[in-house]
Amino acid sequence: MVNAPTLRKTRISALATYVPPGILDNKKLSTMVDTTDEWILQRTGIKTRHIVDKGVATSDMGKEAALRVLAKAGLTPADIDVIIVGTTTPDMFFPSTAALVQHKIGAHNCWGFDLAGACSGFTFSVSVASQLVSTGKHNRALVVGADTMSSIVDYQDRAVCVLFGDGAGAVLVEPAVEEGLEIISFEHEIDGSGGPALQMPAGGSLNPSTHETVEKRMHYIKQDGQAVFKFAVRKTEEIARKVLAKNGFTADDVALFVSHQANRRIIMSAADRLGLPESKVMINIEDYGNTTAATIPLALEDAIKQGRLKKGDLVLLASVGAGFTVGSVLLRWAV
């Protein structure tokens, strides 16, 4: 008879982020498309975004965040067993961005892969990493959430270009060492019926790149903003309630709600429905815009800097993105 494996508890043991120095603010955007600072701020909550210089790719930002998280943890790249890069904007189809990050940081003892979860890239990747570590097969996973959204944003489409920015975050997932300070659980969903509401139509096997796809601007994000907005509010609340209830908690127990940063109004609507006061909601979208897989680590880092996140806090992460993907991770902050 085969014994069931004993699963270990896991924790996020370190966090670091990187954003490129280039800034694209609302004033500059209003010289590029027919928009205003007032419209963008009121409808989205965004003031500025960080944008990479030409030639800088997702693996470059991922490398910076990875080296920073290793430095914070006092570790070397050789200490990593597996790298997972959550991204929608890989440097290229192949090799994977995980392989590029591995090479750029010189992590010689690991394997790895990319995870395509769109805006749920970080929540999905953390929970996969947690499962890999919990079995005992891996001791240390490097999770990178990184996106170069400026590479797929149409800067002639005012309804989309105001929303996105570039950035990266990295965490280490290791076995838990202190009682209760751990990744408690996760709940995820995927619903492909939402595909047409948010997609980049060309460049893949369905519509390979041709002069025509380029002329038709099919290599950029196409979005039904209102459909995504409504789905995001409803599902953020739903997945948050699900992960809390399944683990015996209510929204009152949450110290900090760190949602994917797509639109200030989406986050606050979901928080209101959950009965969470603004004091328990982390929002930093004004400084970065929507950086897809990087928003949650960027928000966690700012929460720490602002003294709003400390060891032992019950933290609820939630995300909704293209696919549609829906993710949530419930954890006690262990750093």
What ranges in the chain are assigned the alpha helix state H? 26-32, 37-44, 58-73, 97-105, 121-134, 158-161, 211-215, 225-246, 264-274, 285-288, 295-305
Active site residue 108: no
Between 30 and 247, name the residue whose CB sits nearer to ligand UT7.
Answer: 30
Contact present, 140 and 124 (Cβ < 8 Å): no
Choice between 39 and 249, CB closer to ligand UT7: 39
Q: Which of 128, 147, 146, 178 is nearest to 11 (CA)?
A: 178
- Site size toward ligand UT7 (CB under 6 A) is 19
Rounded alpha-carbon distances, angstroms, from residue 206 to 93, 193, 209: 14, 17, 10
Per CB under 6 A, contacts with ligand UT7 among 116-175 are 119, 158-159, 162
Q: Which of 225, 247, 255, 304 binds ligand UT7 (CB under 6 A)?
A: 225
Nearer to ligand UT7, 14 or 228 (CB): 228
| Annotated catalytic residue within 119, 138, 161, 188 | 119
HEC secondary structure over 245-309: HHCCCCHHHCCEEEECCCCHHHHHHHHHHHCCCHHHECCCHHHHCECHHHHHHHHHHHHHHCCCC
Identify the active-site residue in 26, 263, 284, 290. Answer: 290
Q: Which residue type occupies 320?
A: V
Place of tokens 């701020």: 41
* Residue 44 sits in the site that holds ligand UT7 (CB under 6 A): yes
263 binds ligand UT7 (CB under 6 A): yes
Query: Cα 206–290–70 angle (5° rounding)?
Result: 100
**Is the CB of 172 or the CB of 326 nearer to ligand UT7?**
326
Query: What is the smallest separation between the CB atom of 229 and ligand UT7, expressed in angstroms?
Result: 4
Q: Active-site residue 161, yes or no?
A: no
Active site residue 260: yes
Per CB under 6 A, contacts with ligand UT7 among 273-302 are: 290
Choices 143-151, 186-194, 201-209, 226-234; region in contact with ligand UT7 by CB under 6 A: 226-234
Least gap, CB of 115 to ligand UT7 (angstroms)? 16
Q: Is 226 in the site for ligand UT7 (CB under 6 A)?
A: yes
CA 275 to chain centre: 24
Length of the chain: 335
Token representation of residue 312: 């032992």
The Cα-based distances of 114 to 132, 135, 162, 207, 230 in angstroms read 15, 20, 27, 22, 28
Q: Which stretch binds ligand UT7 (CB under 6 A): 33-41, 133-141, 143-151, 246-254?
A: 33-41
With CB under 6 A as the contact rule, the residue among 262, 274, 281, 316 that binds ligand UT7 is 262
**Minimum CB–partner distance for residue 247 and ligand UT7 (Å):** 25
**What is the rounded distance in angstroms from the CA atom of residue 54 to the CA atom of residue 35?**
25
**Which of residues 127 and 269 has its CB atom nearest to ligand UT7 in the complex?**
269
> Given the rule CB under 6 A, which residues bind ligand UT7?
35, 39-40, 43-44, 119, 158-159, 162, 223, 225-226, 228-229, 232, 262-263, 290, 321
Catalytic residues: 119, 260, 290
